[in-house]
Chains A and B, each alone.
Chain A
Amino acid sequence: MNERNDIYYIDEVKNGNRNAFGVLVERYQDMVYGLAYKMMRNESTAEEIAQESFVKAFRSIHTFKGSSKFSTYLYSIVYNTAITELRKKKIHATPVERIEVEPEEEQGVHQEFFNLKAEERKKYLDLAMSKLSPEEQVMMTMFYYDEEPMDEIALVVGLSTSNVKVKIHRSRKKLFKELYVLLNQEIYSLL
């Protein structure tokens, strides 16, 4: 039923049909809530941030020119709203210890990871991701899970494309280190 593209519904809202915004909410609610949760790590705060982001998007929809995707526009609103909230609460990511993971060990991390059951894999990945900064988490999810191009990610986090590329590379290393530590802890706890 909702086969029409985002621009159609955005134009409808601009022309005064506020119900058309409901289609966009339905379409992007999981993406917006998921991102808010990833950054806030708390269900009620994530819901508040996600709702606030949709209201902000509605208020400023007349400024959306369509030069980027609507999802990028939404992502940037959620990201900025969450960052403002995190600054208010002064929440910082835990720094990752400096552990060098050798290429063979990276392969080992990968094998051990896929030996786990799906729900365990999700648990460990969530734990490892939570050690990254909110900015790094957003970039990693957008690039590897949503498969967004780097220039769209740059628009969301307000950095240059080359800077995003460097940061994703560093975040990837950090994630490997975190998974390596977590999976080793798992092995030691079994012994």
Chain B
Amino acid sequence: MKKHNREEQLIREIMKDDTPKKAPKSFSASVMNRIALEPLPMKNVYEPLITRKGWIILLVVLISTLIGLFLVFGDSQGATGVGGMFGFIGHGTNQLIDVVSGAPIGVIGILFGLSGLLLFDRLLSSRAKKVQANHTV
């Protein structure tokens, strides 16, 4: 330990002569000329359309709607035990498919398109976060 400390002290004194080489006189001007050609850095790269809280609310609304639809369309008469529960879910699903298949093609297209855009937004925001994390020290 004593040897280590002495060695540390010796090298610390020697390294005081390790003065860095000074930049050339025109260096700062050259850098600023290059900076002048650069676009101004953007403060926020990307803001997601729907925040994490928004996604949670959307999920709760969707699940509540689905449960509500099952309760409306599900046939619970005579349903007891696990078998009865599966029958109830099966019947509810069939009814739901009937309702959806009866909907106009335009409405279905809009719903699919909207879902696709929301997923794309999510993908962009996660990529932006990754890029930001890689550049942050």
Residues of A at the B interface (CB closer than 8 Å) are 13-16, 18, 21-22, 25-26, 29-35, 37-38, 43, 46-47, 50-51, 54-55, 58-65, 67-68, 72-73, 76, 103, 106-107, 109-110, 113-114, 118, 121-122, 125, 129, 140-141, 144-145, 155, 172, 175-176, 179
Q: Which residues of A contact B19 (CB under 8 A)?
A: 122, 145
**Known pairs A47-B27, A62-B43. 17 more at Cβ < 8 A?**
A22-B32, A25-B31, A25-B32, A29-B23, A29-B31, A32-B23, A38-B20, A50-B31, A51-B34, A58-B41, A60-B41, A62-B41, A64-B137, A67-B136, A68-B137, A175-B14, A176-B7
Q: Which residues of B contact A73 (CB under 8 A)?
A: 137
From A14, A21, A122, A176, B11 is in contact (CB under 8 Å) with A176
Provide the bound-state CA to CA distance between A63 and B115, in Å.
30
Residues of B at the A interface (CB closer than 8 Å) are 3, 6-8, 10-24, 27-28, 30-32, 34-36, 38, 40-45, 132, 135-137
Q: Which residues of A contact B132 (CB under 8 A)?
A: 63
Q: Which residues of A contact B40 (CB under 8 A)?
A: 16, 18
From B3, B18, B35, B41, A125 is in contact (CB under 8 Å) with B18
Closest 6 A-B residue pairs measured CB to CB?
A34-B20, A144-B15, A33-B23, A63-B135, A29-B23, A37-B21
Q: Is A34 within 8 A of B22, CB to CB?
A: yes
Could you tell me the distance in whole angstroms from the C-beta of B7 to the nearest C-beta in chain A?
6
Provide the bound-state CA to CA distance between A173 and B7, in Å.
9
Q: Is B28 within 8 A of A110, CB to CB?
A: no
